[in-house]
Amino acid sequence: MKVFQKTACAMLASSLIAGAAQAQISDDEIRIGYLADMSGTYRDLSGPGGLEALKMAVEDFGGQVNGKKIVVFSADDLNKPDVGANTVRQWVDERNVDMVTGMVASSVVLAASKVVEQSGKLALISGAAASSLTNEYCSPNHIHWTYDSYALANGTAKSVLASGGKNWFILTADYAFGHAMEKDITKVVQSDGGKVVGTVRHPFPSSDFSSYILQAQGSGADVIAFANAGADTVNSLMTASQFGVAQSGQKLAGMVVFLNDIHAMGLDVTQGLMLTTGWYWDMNDESRAWAQRYYKRVGKMPGMVPAGIYSATTNYLNAIKATGSDEAQAVRTQMMATPVNDMFAKNGKIRADGRMVHDMYLAQVKTPAESKGEWDLYKIVSTIPGDEAYRPLSESACKLLPKG
């Protein structure tokens, strides 16, 4: 009788422990929302391709973690903050989404991340650039993964300054991302002995850049920097090419330039352009293998944003596997404690401000003669160690950091 009682108690205890562990996965499912521009200016930057990268990560886990199904929702934010915030609120309220990723236009991300924080969920930001997301707008409920305006300005601007470009004119997208990039460029230029001789802000998005380019030409600046992204960068650089800006001796600095942008404009227009990137598909065997998988699904090589989405999602799912929980802070704590070592980054680390710090790369666009194929577009000039690329915590205004 006593043996039976002991056995029964042991079985009951085991079932209670198992039940508690299972209960840590809310709704018995891991629910991920993918929020991005699926049809507008930033479609090619992330859009449907970023969603495919997310699905690749989910499929690599067999569609489940610890026996719990992974469910993916997706939506087009139309690059509108209210649309993004309302979508995330609906996902949280009606579908109990655990994590939101993609997150491209910084204005949308700022609005959506507030909803994420208020609801106690988690966001993995892979497409947005504004460095303010881990500075004055940092949150315990989001992680900034792929790149930011500070790292891009730090890499590209320093290189152009070193080559003699001292006087700068900045063409800026007039919203949160552009403002952050303009601020970061200005700081780098001035700290390295250069001068910003003029700025102009254009509406987001824009199609006609003629008047802005003429203003930049007339400034007499050594360098015209483009603090915009996506189709805006393509259109502004194409306009500069049509106006013969480079031939007149002014240097062009695309501060947020992606692989798809270079591909769209062609090497005749972009050859020699210096840029900073967080990842390149042709860097090593591991990156090439993943890129080929992506290419077979999407029909084009991935830039750093889809690669970042895959990496962030993979590390998120690994954290759930390790903790047995999809609770935001449990997952974030586990992710912070685990170095990032995958096809995207080696020895990456997540800081207290939510910045995932990893090496960045200074690249130069190849000439048509140097390129050996349609997507053979960059040559990596140098590696910028992560601790040098990103804003040091000593300069941070993040509220999550200890004061003093």
- Where residue 186 falls (left for φ over 0; alpha for ψ -120 to 50; beta otherwise) is alpha
List beta partners, residue 195. Answer: 167
In three-state secondary structure terms, 168 is strand
> Which tokens sit at 309?
């989405």
In a domain, 2, yes or no: no
3-state secondary structure 331-345: HHHHHHHCCECCCCC
Rounded CA separation 58/51 (Å)? 11
For position 230, what pLDDT does the model report?
A: 86
User: In terms of domains, do 180 and 113 share one?
Assistant: no
User: In terms of domains, do 227 and 367 share one?
Assistant: yes
Contact 133, 125 (CB under 8 A): yes
Rounded CA separation 227/176 (Å)? 11
In a domain, 154, yes or no: yes
- All residues at 6 or more sequence positions from 156 whose CB lies less than 8 Å from its CB, including other chains: 253, 254, 255, 274, 275, 276, 362
3-state secondary structure 133-145: HHCCCCCCCEEEC
Contact 71, 32 (CB under 8 A): yes
Quote the strand ranges of 258-334, DSSP E: 274-277
> Which tokens sit at 160?
């152009």
User: In terms of domains, do 272 and 349 share one?
Assistant: no
Rounded CA separation 8/6 (Å)? 5
User: In terms of domains, do 178 and 271 share one?
Assistant: yes
User: Cis peptide leading into 205, omega within 30 of 0?
Assistant: yes
User: In terms of domains, do 352 and 372 share one?
Assistant: no
In a domain, 306, yes or no: yes
Amino acid in position 223: V
Contact 324, 24 (CB under 8 A): yes
List beta partners, residue 36. Answer: 76
In a domain, 120, yes or no: yes
User: In terms of domains, do 260 and 369 share one?
Assistant: yes
Residue 6, judged by CB atoms within 10 A of its CB (0-12, 13-18, 19+), counts as exposed
Gyration radius of the chain over CA positions: 23
In a domain, 383, yes or no: yes
Q: Give the Cβ contact number of residue 14 at 10 Å.
A: 10
User: In terms of domains, do 86 and 221 share one?
Assistant: no
Count of structural domains within the chain: 2
> Which tokens sit at 198?
């003029």
For position 247, what pLDDT does the model report?
A: 81
User: In terms of domains, do 190 and 254 share one?
Assistant: yes
Which positions of the chain have pLDDT values less than 70?
1-23, 404
- Going by their DSSP bridges, the two strands 167-173 and 223-227 should be labelled as parallel
- Of 232, 212, 219, 188, residue with least CA distance to 43: 232
In a domain, 143, yes or no: yes
Q: Give the Cβ contact number of residue 215 at 10 Å.
A: 15
User: In terms of domains, do 168 and 111 share one?
Assistant: no
- Within 13 A of 245's CA, how many CA atoms are on the CB side? 29
Domain that holds residue 310: 27-147+283-358
In a domain, 192, yes or no: yes
In a domain, 346, yes or no: yes
For position 404, what pLDDT does the model report?
A: 60
